[in-house]
Amino acid sequence: VDQIIYTNIGNKGEYKEVVYMNEDTGECRFADANRTFSGETAPFNEPVTLIFRGPIHLKQLAVYTPSGAGAFSRNHYYNAASQTSQGLTFLGNRGGEGSGVVGGHFGASLSYINPTASGGSSTPQILANEVIANEFLVMTDQDCDFATCGYVRPGSIAKKGFPGTTSRIFLLEFSMPHTASTGGGDMPAIWLENARVCPTRSNTADVRAGIRAAASGKFSRSCMPRPVDQNAPIKVAVWLDPVDGGTASVKILGTSDGAQFGGQLNAGEVSDLKKRSAGLVSETDYAIATVQTRGYQV
The domain locations on the chain are 3-292
Write out the chain's pLDDT in tens, 298 residues: 999 998 988 777 888 888 998 888 989 899 999 988 888 888 788 899 999 999 999 999 999 999 999 999 999 999 999 999 999 999 999 999 999 999 878 889 999 999 999 999 999 999 999 999 999 999 999 999 888 888 899 899 999 999 987 899 999 999 999 987 555 578 899 999 888 887 776 543 333 333 333 334 444 445 788 999 999 999 999 999 998 888 999 999 999 999 999 999 999 999 999 999 999 999 988 774 334 333 323 2
The pLDDT value recorded for residue 208 is: 36
The pLDDT value recorded for residue 147 is: 82
Torsion of Cα atoms, 6 then 10 then 16 then 22, to 10° = 60
Strands 291-292 and 13-15: parallel
Quick check: 253 and 193 in contact, CB under 8 A? Answer: no
Q: For the beta carbon of residue 254, count every other beta carbon within 10 angstroms.
A: 11
pTM above 0.95, yes or no: no
The pLDDT value recorded for residue 184 is: 58
The pLDDT value recorded for residue 220 is: 41
Quick check: 136 and 90 in contact, CB under 8 A? Answer: yes
The pLDDT value recorded for residue 204 is: 39
Length of the chain: 298
The pLDDT value recorded for residue 40 is: 86
Q: Which residues pair with 28 in a beta bridge?
A: 21
Whole-angstrom distance, CA of residue 69 vs CA of residue 261: 20
